[in-house]
Chain A
Amino acid sequence: MDREKIDQIIDKHHGEASSLIQVLLEIQAANHWLPKEALERVAEKLQVPMTRIQHIATFYKAFSLVPKGRHEIHICMGTACHVRGAPRVLDAAQELTGIKPGETDLDLKFSLQTVNCLGCCALGPVLEIDGKTHGKMSPAEMANVLKNYD
């Protein structure tokens, strides 16, 4: 990600240290991950220690310090989905992609993540891929859904 774009984001927030999380969120959204150079630039311009940035980048689930896959699978593990069988759906997803939550496969095709409630409880179990919500999932359905992504 080029330095100019990062500077633009930082300047939009007036270089205020309290906007650190907002700045990182924008970089994450634009780039899909937080490269080290980006973090160093933010540390420099916002005048905050690298330890604080590192803590924030690992404390909050929205951030990724490694590149993500082309398709991000988010499986809802909220209580309503859990009660309707979400763990089995997660098992199926793990089986089919070969990765565990928080991981990305070697082809950088899929990234798998669990989410704690997408707010679509009527459709539970729910998963979201690239922003599109798939409701009433079952382990059997998993393969059908993942087939459509390359």
Chain B
Amino acid sequence: MSEILLKIDGKEVKAKEGMTVLEAARSAGISIPTLCHHEKLEPYGGCRLCIVEIESRGSRRLAVSCVYPAEKNIAVTTRSEKVDRIRKMILQLLLAHAPDAFDLQDLAKEYGADRNRFEKEPSFCVHCGLCVRYCAEVKKKNAVGFVDRGIRKEISFIPEIASKECWNCKECFPLCPTEALQAAYVLVEALAFPSSATGACATGE
């Protein structure tokens, strides 16, 4: 396998062919914040937290490192005024949904993100897609998916599949950075299969 030589934060890094900039950075011990990234899953490029500055062939641009392929002779900068500003804004936008999300607290402190910059949004879900992608790519059950688009996008369980698979699995629960997943599951469980193992009473029909 051929090697790719690039620079990250001034440091010479040897990356393997096919690696993304994020993987190359991690292999060299350089940290870049992520939210929607997971080693077992295909890179998603949804949260944009891993954004970095890339200088290549004389031009400079911002790129999302979890998806951008490591190329030879590029110079990557993982922290800059602009990068920090954008990460701070992304965090603030996410905090509007889940101000108490564990995964966001340290990052918020590091980038000075104000959890009250925006009014609290009614939905916890930050659409990292980890649950949907894990169930599709790793478990291959497709019990939970996305519905709708834009600001109306939500996650939704398929009751028939969830009733068979989820109680004994729940591997996606620890992946969720907020309470959204558990909330969605509990709701579906209560409405769709009232005589479930939890013994919970049906709230609807």
Interface residues of A (CB under 8 A from B): 49-52, 54-55, 58-59
Contacts and interface: CB of A to CB of B under 8 A. Distances in A.
A52 B140 CA distance: 13
B132 A58 contact: no
B161 interface: yes
Contact of A55 (B143, B147, B161): B147
Given A49-B136, A49-B142, A54 B158 contact: yes
Nearest to B150: A59
Given A50-B145, A51-B132, A54-B147, 6 more contacts: A50-B160, A51-B145, A54-B156, A55-B145, A58-B147, A59-B147
Contacts of B136: 49, 51
A123 B145 CA distance: 41
B142 A59 contact: no
Contacts of B132: 51
7 closest pairs, A vs B, by CB? A51-B145, A49-B142, A58-B147, A58-B148, A51-B142, A59-B149, A50-B158
B144 interface: yes
Interface in B131-160: 132, 136, 142-149, 156, 158, 160
Contacts of A55: 145-147
A52 B145 contact: yes
Chain A interface helix/strand/loop/mixed? helix
A59 B152 CA distance: 10
14 contacts: A49-B142, A50-B142, A50-B161, A51-B132, A51-B136, A51-B146, A52-B145, A54-B145, A54-B147, A54-B156, A54-B158, A55-B147, A58-B147, A59-B149
A53 to B, nearest CB: 9
Interface string B103-143: 00000000000000000000000000000100010000011
Contacts of B148: 58-59
Contacts of A50: 142, 145, 158, 160-161
A13 B160 CA distance: 27
Contacts of A51: 132, 136, 142-146, 158
A59 B153 CA distance: 9
A50 B148 CA distance: 14
Interface in B148-192: 148-149, 156, 158, 160-161
Nearest to B147: A58
Nearest to B149: A59
Contacts of B161: 50
Contacts of B147: 54-55, 58-59
A16 B145 CA distance: 21
A51 B147 CA distance: 8
Nearest to B142: A49
Nearest to B148: A58
Nearest to A59: B149
B144 to A, nearest CB: 7
Nearest to A40: B160
A35 to B, nearest CB: 15
Nearest to B154: A58
